[in-house]
Chain A
Amino acid sequence: MLKSEFPDAFRQARKQVGVEQMDDQNDPVQMVLRFQDVRKCAHNWKTFQSGAEPGRIVVPSEVAIRSIRQIPFEVDPPEHKDYRALVEPWFKRPLDAKYTDKLRLLVDGALDDAFSKSELDVVTEFALPLQSKALTVLLNTPMKEADTWISWGTHVFRSEGEALDSDKANLLYDYLDDEIERALKDPADDLYSLLLSAEVGGKKMTKEEVKGVMILTFAGGRDTVINATTNTIAYFAEHLEALRKLKRDEAAIKKAVEELVRYFSPLTHMGRVATEDAAVCEHAVKNDTRISLCWASANRDENVFENPNDVRLDRQNNPHVAFGFGTHNCLGSTHARQLLRTLIAAMAERVDDIQLLNANNNLEHWGGVTRKVGFHQLTASFSGS
């Protein structure tokens, strides 16, 4: 099997049952696996809410380690609309050409570093620093902040071998408290300052609300972006011809990114809490129990995607849900797409060869299913100019 192969872990359960049951800290989750069911449940925010107890829609649940509500992620309409409208223009900045130029400099720097080393771990020496530096562009904060974030390691909330790590969470929360105080004292043209000066529904944003937006921004775009970056590099290392074909073809690169995020689905699933007794593909969902929308399974649904386990970089119809679907679709998707497009464009122009040396798969366990989502470590040697 190629190192960049990511099997469809949910195939059997999706075809035969449609849901997968899993326990999570005595708050079980029914994972919804079929494409149409996933989209319908995501669309139906009244029955399957995000605005439950903070941390509960995340799987594994963060209820035990977080009381602050992530915004707008854990708020439902109608309140959701004003929060989303506040942050959306900022998160659409990656559509600006100048933003892409900044990302290109970072990607070029990462490639220069990779070319200069005989070998490197793509996860910790390429993807993590690139994710962190790119986040400074998204927040519009000084580049040196990235050094702090890199020092936290690949998971903000999780340590190796531990599902939940409150020490790590506190590291982020304390950092954000300091940054919010800094921005209050000395406002700048950054996301903190924008939020602190904003009003939602006629009321000034509180520090806790600002923190809620920032936690979402840090946590949502951390291991997802790191995995997407690492997996993309793994894929092109094993498909160099495909990379060469993308050289200076912007439209083809866009399609390729959509297909790669479909195939990798960096976020396996996201939970919802039922507000009434309901049913999903004939399985009962009791009021106040959890379901999850399994993007990774939906993205391999053979009723929607032809040859779903093949990577077809020029796939024309690709209604994937890798960035979620509906009201709560991924706020950071514009940034993530632009980063991946820039990465592929730069690699297509500059990389001659990538040899993958050693891979330690990052496997997730959900109920009876084991899914490869990325790598804990991927050593590689790059050559190019």
Chain B
Amino acid sequence: MISIRFVTQDGEKTELTGDSGSVMELAAQNGIAGIDGECGGVCSCATCHVYLSEEDMQKVDAPSDFERDMLELTEDVQPTSRLSCQLPLTQEINGITLKVAR
């Protein structure tokens, strides 16, 4: 099982575990505020925007061109921004903490 900790804009901390799918799906299925994943993960809506810590950025693959282009014009973007629909639940990210962007 992969464990991910989410911190919402209100400061609420939730730890969730899952073994397949994406970080967005894990969060949306468990009602994490600010992660709606409205487009279902095709990189069209940016309603799953999260911030990683700088050191955790090394643990995930670089964003695709589609994700990078989307993030470039997303509100409140930061250097450690990612769309969580593009982050698969893998052993590499077990235990990381994500801040929800909105």
- B98 CB within 8 Å of chain A: no
B40 (CB) vs chain A CBs: closest residue:
A254
A40 at interface by CB-CB < 8 Å: yes
Contact B40 A320 (CB under 8 A): no
Secondary structure at chain B's binding surface: helix, strand, loop or mixed?
A: loop
Cβ contacts under 8 Å, A319 to chain B: 42-44, 66, 69-70
Which residues of B lie under 8 Å from residue A320 when comparing CB positions? 44
Interchain CB contact under 8 A, A251 and B75: no
The answer to whether A317 and B36 have CB atoms under 8 Å apart is: no
Contact between B73 and A325, CB atoms less than 8 A apart: yes
Residue total for B at the interface (Cβ-Cβ under 8 A): 15
Q: Are B73 and A326 in contact (CB under 8 A)?
A: yes
* Residues of A with C-beta under 8 A to B40: 251, 254-255, 257-258
Asked if A95 lies at the interface with its beta carbon under 8 angstroms from chain B, I say yes
For A318, the chain B residues whose CB sits under 8 A away are 39, 42-44
| Pairwise interchain contact A43-B73, C-beta atoms closer than 8 A | yes
CA–CA, A40 and B70, complex, Å = 11
Q: Is B38 a contact of A334 with CB atoms below 8 Å?
A: yes
* A317 proximity list for chain B (CB < 8 A): 42-43, 64, 66
- Are A258 and B73 interface neighbours, CB within 8 A? no
| A95, closest chain B residue (CB) | B36
Residue in B36, B39, B66, B73 whose Cβ sees the most chain A Cβ within 10 Å: B39
B46 to chain A, nearest CB (A): 9
Q: Compute how far the CA of A258 lies from the CA of B40 in the bound complex, rounded to whole angstroms.
A: 8
Asked whether A337 is an interface residue with its Cβ less than 8 Å from the other chain, the reply is yes
In the bound complex, what is the Cα–Cα distance between A36 and B65 (angstroms)? 13
Cβ contact of B42, chosen from A92, A258, A323, A325, cutoff 8 A: A258
Known: A95-B38, A325-B73. 5 other contacts (CB 8 A): A254-B41, A317-B42, A318-B39, A327-B75, A337-B39
What 8 pairs across the A-B complex have the smallest Cβ distances?
Answer: A254-B40, A318-B42, A43-B73, A317-B66, A319-B43, A258-B42, A319-B44, A320-B44
Interface of A toward B, CB cutoff 8 Å: 36, 39-40, 42-43, 92, 95, 251, 254-255, 257-258, 315-321, 323, 325-327, 329, 333-334, 337
